[in-house]
Structure 1
């Protein structure tokens, strides 16, 4: 875009660092931007050091140890900026095309036993392949003598090299399939559980409003949640490394892409087996196989403890999945400090789930071991519409006649841990990061942040604040129209409260995500507040949560991409325009795909258990929360069955306080990368759906972050992220094809014949 660059840029910036040879002699070494693997940096677990990191550099055998975000900026990510164009015709076209693919896959997984996202690195590599083809297979404009032809071909980027910045822009657009997802999920819930369809005008305005509110917040808070060096957004780091490797080291591309192609082909062929031909490969359990001839009661217990290949089957202890669609490459990229906390959470999760069920807490044995549905007192599925009037509001007379709904013990535990995690998140950020947050904010405002990537971006014009203000006004007015004229049952003042709640929580979520690459669920607090301010209105609660939760979700997602833009030197104003377009495009395509799936798979999505292919668990959970919080006084008050759930928020606040106090008394504990918010999250995150992947993810994490990263850093840096992206891509392409060709997403189902590896019951042969 014209006017983006205000001063000339050097073609290459090389970071020089000191290193010592085996004799202790200090020498100068370069980490060239073209190949970050030359020095084989070792990434070490970070402690609770906050945003600022440690200025003292550390080396092991001549290699810089990447301990924190400042080390990442200095040694792992190049500051090179070639000044190449970013917002091009080619980047927009490629991004738009691949958004369709990502939207379809994203929505497919909303209706599957485990909800996962499309691999961003896979989309990134697909865009690269097609971008390179665009450059090499199109004619050079200079060959044409006619001026208007030459200008047209140049505008269409014919014969021009595919640069890193337009690659980033196209990949950002392509990954927007997850934007606006919360709003589309509510539309699906209305169709499934309320027998009503939202008007087209309401859907358009609501989607526009929901998609932009979170975007505005991310832009306003970027000085805190993007610019500081410690805001690494670790789960996106593989993308940045891959962007630079692909564009700054062209000679190595052929060999890398060959390995990528082999891995993708292998994953595609293999995925046919666990997903279609041999579902048993999605849940290998010695205990399940050993129990096949046991009495029914024994098999039932084994299924709850060791089963996990089917939706809501069991906890999947020592059950290993070979189905990569559920494992995914995120466990190849999450830092070790994050994964250690998740493992601690699992240690809590197993005994808690079993203890609650077999102690018959909350009448647990009267209902399924795992399910997110609501149940009547007699154990049958609770009908949502049986207690609602024609406007979607609770009818107290009907409620008295039908009786209160019940939750499974696993669901109550899931809700409770969500509140624990949120309380812990708020307290943890305040206690451990408040001081550094204030320093980082002041440094960013004065343009004195020490991060070299931040300094390198100062040459580009910032996005004026009035751009964000205008965007917010448009989104806000659209939301006002929807709540005032639409069928949401959410009043305007409730809509305003939802935005304020989302704006309050979003900075905490962004900070945790930036530091650890993961976050905590925020839907529960939104449902709680919605129930308090709109009692008896579950639909209002759903829309309240959509705005507040989507503000948080998009703030995290877009802050994540702003960090990618900072690392790859995409101008601020280009990122603004691209993110607005991507957010609206992704939400619109999600809405179209949702309609297709809900129409064709309605019956199985309404089933409280589902099967190994389709499951309405995610939407059931969201709706169950909305219904129960709409009658919060009867469900969650001190005299009600589930009073422990809201108290979890208060209890969670004390975990970081205790942690902080112990660190003060025993300073050595600071070396342990403990984060109670993440522990609480994973102590209940898998309270529904498929669980056979959990132990496989642990194995993948140990292999990648403990063995490869520490023992074979050269292999880790060159191939860890690349092969992970290929495995994601191969599996997701096959799932996309199978879903519509054989698994019924298009309406026609063609299941594989039943045999031992594809049993009629649970795939792992438990129960």
Structure 2
């Protein structure tokens, strides 16, 4: 459709609605024609100008450039002990002056290429170009999950496959989810109440960087742009203290200091234990899992309840009653142990990376700490609770969404988007056929897992896409499918570690990627980005990022001696170590020998979680029908509550408690009593803090740490026993509470 036709189509719609055209040429609609969701109403404009250029040379150049850069940096830091993830905020800040510069210097003449007329410089650098660049970076923000499988094979299982095998594995697991995103559009993007809260931060950020005019009621207040820069500067300056100059201030386990040689006190209050009372002054830590300024307050309350029940009630009871011989192990650890508390050597029970049952019986059963074991049971419950909760609370709604989408009953943002050509279903279909074919080649030709396992994994990802997506779109929390996928394939293919993690990746990550793409499509919906351009930006960015992630990881594995070990510091691969432990539990040994009744398995009670999770939402849903005026009953969200501890480990409890405190201040106190400030600055604050942290982390690493320039040791930056720096030591020693990582008898596993 030509640009003139697009404008005419848009004008036909707005003629019935327009009251006045503002000084920027944007169409202002009736005040009544607003989003029914308050957070969206105060953040997302209900206007659009379809003539704004977005599919430009500038957008593609900057988007591809930053995709390559960020994909490399994020993969590089992912394997380091102190990981950093760069995303929207940093690139939004850095790409803006680059875009303006290109708008000034690029030639404006028009070119004619086989009848296609275009220009390198269609005018001022636009908001829509900027959002598309950010969307491409979003596809690189989380490093490709399947890269861990490649590292696992090379480093832990010494199974060397050709580069093309790993490349196809990474590419297919990252891109297959696109087809599911296409099917989810009418359920998770078009309905107004599918908010996707994280997108409101990005909308606020981009609008602040581009719109400098103020509403009359905001005259005299600090501009959003100036506020953003001030908070970014403050975040950047402070980041140097907890991460370089004064690391102890980032983790203040002050209760433990009363008597740091008391094991029980250290386990309960130390940062590497349960972290009760631990204060963290490091933004990167306290917002890593909760995202306190984004997640709705009702969801944070559910997280708090789940955290208290599991971490501060169930775990101490299990540990100090010596359930599963737990006193022989630390109270919180992702490591695997023998009965007497030593580290479990999985190589003793494998031959050609396949479990030998007689060796397993002879060497002894695998043990884990009670926290790790209980969180698996809670994860089982969270899975079935998600299904039941969505069916009870959202079942009729999903049917209604299907009907209303066909009848054209849409909100203002959907109507504004109607002037743009939608992505045809066959685009998604062709992409799915290609990735599915390559997935079969990957799994069968390179012997990752049988063909039937691939079909089953993708079926699980597809079935759970909608219920998990509804939970994330409303609460900003995403229940993961990692546990259920590991569980299923662990029973179907016991003893095969690589097949287990491959199945998990195709089931879990394809689902996660589908929802990540859907979230980006919702951002494009809010910012009125043409869907076809958004689709192309996502596909190209994902392809490039997957390639760079894998090449970077292989380069590090081949060039860094002892990578993913303590001796390989700083490339200790914390997340990959947890991934390896899961491959042992679910794959090499298998759930029958861990959670079943085979060869001395002792964690079988965890499987009751499936039944408990399915039952928990039912009485609360029924109570809402009997007592419709009791509002708090409607806010009980079992999938979020049960998923509260799903990231512990590798996360630590104090990450959550400190994040929830920030959430109480910003999402409850300030929203309720300082609403004007909250509506103007809250989401912008989150973006600015993230930007300052990311810039600070990059500079500290490349200027100092990469050149082995360490800050002098003192009480706030203590040295380890042999004089090495704080980065080399166990995190528990950072807060002067080293016994938090010891077992009940005061022994720290070596």
Q: What is the TM-score with the length of structure 2 in the denominator?
A: 0.86
Match of 1:365 in 2: 327
Confirm or deny that 1:230 pairs with 2:197. Answer: no
Deviation at 1:218, TM superposition (A): 0.7
**Where does 1:114-513 land on structure 2 (aligned, <5 Å)?**
117-136=85-104, 138-139=105-106, 141=108, 155-157=119-121, 160-178=123-141, 181-249=144-212, 255-292=223-260, 296=261, 298=262, 300-308=263-271, 313-328=272-287, 330-348=291-309, 349-390=311-352, 392-446=353-407, 448-488=408-448, 490-513=449-472
- C-alpha contact (below 8 Å) 2:666/2:678 kept by paired residues: yes
User: Is residue 2:576 matched to residue 1:619?
Assistant: yes
Paired residues of 2:88 and 2:202 also in contact (CA < 8 A)? yes
Contact kept, 8 Å, 1:102 with 1:176, in 2: the verdict is: no
Mapped partners of 1:269, 1:182: distance in 2: 32
Q: How many angstroms apart in 1 are the aligned matches of 2:87 and 2:478?
A: 17
In the alignment, which residue of structure 1 is the partner of 2:554? Answer: 595
Q: Distance in 2 between matches of 1:112 and 1:416?
A: 30
What CA distance in whole angstroms lies between the structure 1 residues aligned with 2:379 and 2:25? 43
CA distance in 1, matches of 2:452, 2:326: 38
Q: Which secondary structure does the structure 1 equivalent of 2:334 belong to? A: coil
Shift in Å at residue 256 of structure 1?
3.3
Q: CA deviation at 1:335?
A: 1.2
Q: Tell me the SS of whatever aligns to 1:263.
A: helix
- Please state how far the C-alpha of 1:719 moved relative to its aligned partner: 2.1
Where 2:355 maps in the other structure, the secondary structure is coil
Contact 1:320 1:692 in 2 (8 A): yes
Is 1:651 equivalent to 2:615 in the alignment? Answer: no
Q: Counterparts of 2:283 and 2:12 in 1: how far apart (Å)?
A: 40
Is it true that 1:525 corresponds to 2:484 in the alignment?
yes
1:541 counterpart residue number: 500
Which blocks of at least 5 consecutive residues in structure 1 are unaligned? 18-27, 42-56, 58-63
Shift of 1:600: 6.8
Q: Deviations over 1:561-590 (max 9, x none)?
A: 111111111112112211111221222222
8 Å contact kept, 1:12–1:82: no
Query: What is the rounded CA distance, in whole Å, between the counterparts of 2:196 and 2:241 in structure 1?
Result: 34
1:78 aligns with 2:45: yes
Measured after TM superposition, the shift of residue 262 of structure 1 is 2.7
**Pair 1:697–1:129, CA change in 2 (3 A):** farther
CA contact (8 A) 2:111 2:119 kept: no
Change in 2 beyond 3 A, CA 1:249/1:257 = closer
Q: Is the 8 A contact 2:75 2:143 kept in 1?
A: no
Per-residue CA distance 1:387-443 (angstroms, 9 max, x = gap): 2222x3222333233222111111112211211211111110000000001100222
Instruction: Describe the superposition over 1:597-650 as per-residue Cα deviations: whole angstroms up to 9, x where unpaired.
Output: 556777573459x99x77544323333223222322221115621112333122
Distance 2:619 2:22 in 1: 42
Whole-Å separation in 2 of the counterparts to 1:35 and 1:697? 39
The number of aligned residues is 708
Distance 2:242 2:340 in 1: 36
CA change 1:753–1:115 in 2 (3 A) is closer
- CA shift digits 1:126-173 (9 cap, x unpaired): 33343233324x25526xxx9789x9996333x721122211211100
Change (3 A) 1:604 1:13: farther
Q: Secondary structure at the match of 1:682?
A: coil
Distance 1:109 1:430, change over 3 A: farther
Change beyond 3 A, Cα 1:624–1:181: same
Q: Work out the CA distance in 2 between the residues paired with 1:507 and 1:86.
A: 30
Taking structure 1 as reference, are residues 657 and 282 closer, same or farther at Cα in structure 2, changes over 3 Å only? same
CA distance in 1, matches of 2:287, 2:102: 29
- Partner secondary structure for residue 424 of structure 1: helix
Q: 1:147 to 1:188 in 2, by over 3 A?
A: closer
CA drift at 1:73:
5.3
- Contact kept, 8 Å, 2:480 with 2:508, in 1: the verdict is no
Report the more deviating stretch, 349-358 or 514-523: 349-358
Q: Structure 2: 5+ residue runs without aligned partners?
A: 216-220, 721-728, 739-750
The change in CA–CA distance for 1:288 and 1:727 in structure 2 (over 3 A counts) is same
Number of the residue aligned with 2:527: 568
Task: Identify which range, 572-581 or 429-438, moves more after superposition.
Answer: 572-581
Partner of 2:518: 559
Report how far residue 654 of structure 1 moved.
0.8
User: Judging changes above 3 Å, is the alpha-carbon distance between structure 1 residues 245 and 737 closer, same or farther for their aligned structure 2 residues?
Assistant: closer
Label 1:307 to 1:381 Cα distance change in 2 as closer, same or farther (>3 A). Answer: same
Superposed CA RMSD: 3.5
CA deviation digits over 1:511-570, x for unaligned, max 9? 111111111121000101111221211110000011111111111101101111111111
Residues 25-48 of structure 1: CA distance to partner in whole angstroms, max 9, x if unpaired?
A: xxx999999999xx9x9xxxxxxx
Deviation sequence 1:717-745 (CA, Å, 0-9, x none): 2222223212211212222343455446x
Equivalent residues of 1:85, 1:166 under 8 A apart: yes
Where does residue 593 of structure 2 map in the other structure? 634
Distance 1:95 1:356 in 2: 51
Measured after TM superposition, the shift of residue 188 of structure 1 is 2.2
Q: 1:730 to 1:180 in 2, by over 3 A?
A: closer
